[in-house]
Structure 1
Amino acid sequence: MSDPDDKRSSGQRKALVGYGRPPTDHQFRKGTSGNPRGRPKKSPRPSKAADGDTRLADLVMQEAYRQIQIRENGKLEELPMIQAVLRSLGVAAVKGSHRAQLAITSLVQAVEQRTLNERQAMFEAGIEYKRGWEEIFELCDSRGEPRPEPVPHPDDILIDARAGVVIFNGPVDDNQKAAWDQALERRTASLHEIEEYKRDIENEPELRRVYEDEIAHEQRLADLIGSRIPDEQTRRVPGFNIYEWREKQGKDKERRERLRQIRDSGSA
């Protein structure tokens, strides 16, 4: 929907506002370079030495994760070589090796620090992403324009300030969104089929057993999808956490299965 007051003198309509399409007030002005520093210099082509380094790195990683067998507590165990090295280092540290203790402590501290840095970067990026889209939504609302549907949708992102983490309650890219939508459509179809089979039982009671088997199949499918993929209305409730929700769905599924087994054993 266009606002006549925002039309340029040339009569052109303003562009839609959305991700990658900022409001006209924030676009580059005509005649002004978007890159005042000029074109960046081209990166030099990788040399043969760089190609050799890449091949060496590939070999190192391949060897590090090669499966080997070790004997521990009288039992053979298969695990990546790097894991076996770390385990041996940890055993030496426990036995009192000062060098091993320093090495394993440094490794753990480095991994913990990198994890913390990545989590902090993700947290800040999540906040900025949500803030940016909220501004675009407010602008669309003020102009009477429909809101865009970005993926991931900001309403599907939970910023847990207490834990300092970002939780994606919805699909994170277009491929995952298509898969989620298809699964939810299949669940809706299963629920519809269940109602149809129930009506068929009333019309054809002699085929009750057949229809009951079909109902059980469709119900299992609907329960499986429903326990893993929340619909849009569910996942966009403020404070929704998909991991807590899935855990609860799993417990509810186990409880329903126990009740079904008790009911089936009583009717047998």
Structure 2
Amino acid sequence: MSDDDYEIGYGKPPKHTRFKKGHSGNPAGRPRGAKNKKPPKGIMKTIGELMRNEAERTVTISENGERIEVPIAQVILRKMAADAAKGSDRARKEFLTLALATQKQQIQERASLFEAVINYRHNAWQELERCKMLDIDPPELVPHPSNVDICMRTGAVTITGPIDVGEQRQLEKWQARKSDFEAELRALHDELELAEDDTLKALIEENIADAESILKLARDEVHVRSTVMTMSEG
């Protein structure tokens, strides 16, 4: 059949437009593994962050006649628990499965933290002993191992004071501020005793009230960062 007799139609494109034998119509080809290609890790991380943000986002609900704000995750859990209490086998199974998984995760996290604290105190004492034997200055250890108490019988860990260098710096900063405000407050009280003008007295009293408010904040911050933290394994 000559080219002039070739019938052009559906499934029969002109010969000059057809793919040549031995040549691909897509020279670049599909990338290897494109069909089963997984999304980039960054995308999955973003989805995880979005899920967490949505779970923590608060909505307004009515409870005992009052309007309160609660996280969406709590609303979902309440609905699941309510359905389980009403006799839904599916809701009961899902709720118990989630509760057990959460409890297991909490136990594992506490056990890991307990083990980490034990290792930290052991290594910290070893480092202090090494520095003592070599007669060199020890490193700054926060928390100091002497401030870490571990009860092997109950699994309780008690840490007195800052738990890391960052908190230690914050404690030192607020301690300095506390001392400055205490000195300023004493000076204001001395000025108040010497003041004779009522207008000046009123101004000093206002300054004293402001200084007392700031001093209370500083004292609270020092207390929080100097307090005892207790963690139980069980």
TM above 0.5, yes or no, is yes
Query: What is the aligned partner in structure 1 of residue 195 from structure 2?
Result: 204
Does residue 229 (structure 1) correspond to residue 229 (structure 2)? The answer is no
Task: Give the alignment partner of residue 209 of structure 2, picking from 208, 216, 219.
Answer: 216
Output one character per residue of 1:218-267: Cα deviation in whole Å (capped at 9) or x when no partner.
Answer: 223222222332499xx4xxxx7258xxxxxxxxxxxxxxxxxxxxxxxx
Shift of 1:74: 7.9
CA pair 194-56 structure 1, distance change in 2 beyond 3 A:
closer
| Distance in 2 (alpha carbons) for counterparts of 1:202 and 1:175 | 41
TM-score (norm 1): 0.57
Counterpart for residue 88 of structure 2: 97
Q: After the TM superposition, which of the residue ranges 78-87 and 219-228 deviates more from structure 2?
A: 78-87
1:49 is aligned to 2:42: no
User: Residue 198 and residue 72 in structure 1: after superposition, are their counterparts in 2 closer, same or farther (change >3 A)?
Assistant: closer
Unaligned runs of 5+ in 2: 1-35
Match of 1:194 among 168, 185, 189: 185
Shift of 1:144: 3.5
Q: Distance in 2 between matches of 1:96 and 1:104?
A: 12
Q: Structure 1 unaligned segments of length 5 or more: list them.
A: 1-46, 244-268
Residue 241 of structure 1 aligns with an amino acid whose one-letter code is V
How many percent of aligned residue pairs carry the same amino acid? 27
CA separation in 2, counterparts of 1:111 and 1:211? 56
Query: How far apart, CA to CA, are the structure 2 residues paired with 1:163 and 1:83?
Result: 31
Higher relative contact order (CA 8 A, sep 6+): 2
The 1:115–1:231 alpha-carbon spacing in structure 2 relative to 1, beyond 3 Å, is closer
Normalising by structure 2, we get a TM-score of: 0.64
Contact 2:161–2:228 under 8 Å retained in 1: no
The 3-state SS of whatever aligns with 1:116 is: helix
Shift of 1:84: 2.8
* RMSD of equivalent CA atoms: 3.4
The change in CA–CA distance for 1:230 and 1:143 in structure 2 (over 3 A counts) is farther
Matches within 5 A, 1:132-211: 132-159=123-150, 161=152, 164-206=155-197, 207-211=200-204
Aligned length: 191
- Are 1:122 and 1:165, in contact at CA under 8 Å, matched by a contact in 2? no
Shift of 1:118: 0.7
**Residue 54 of structure 1: how far off its partner (Å):** 4.4
Q: CA deviation at 1:185?
A: 0.7
Identify if the C-alpha distance between structure 1 residues 213 and 64 changes in structure 2 by more than 3 Å, giving closer, same or farther: closer
Shift of 1:150: 2.3
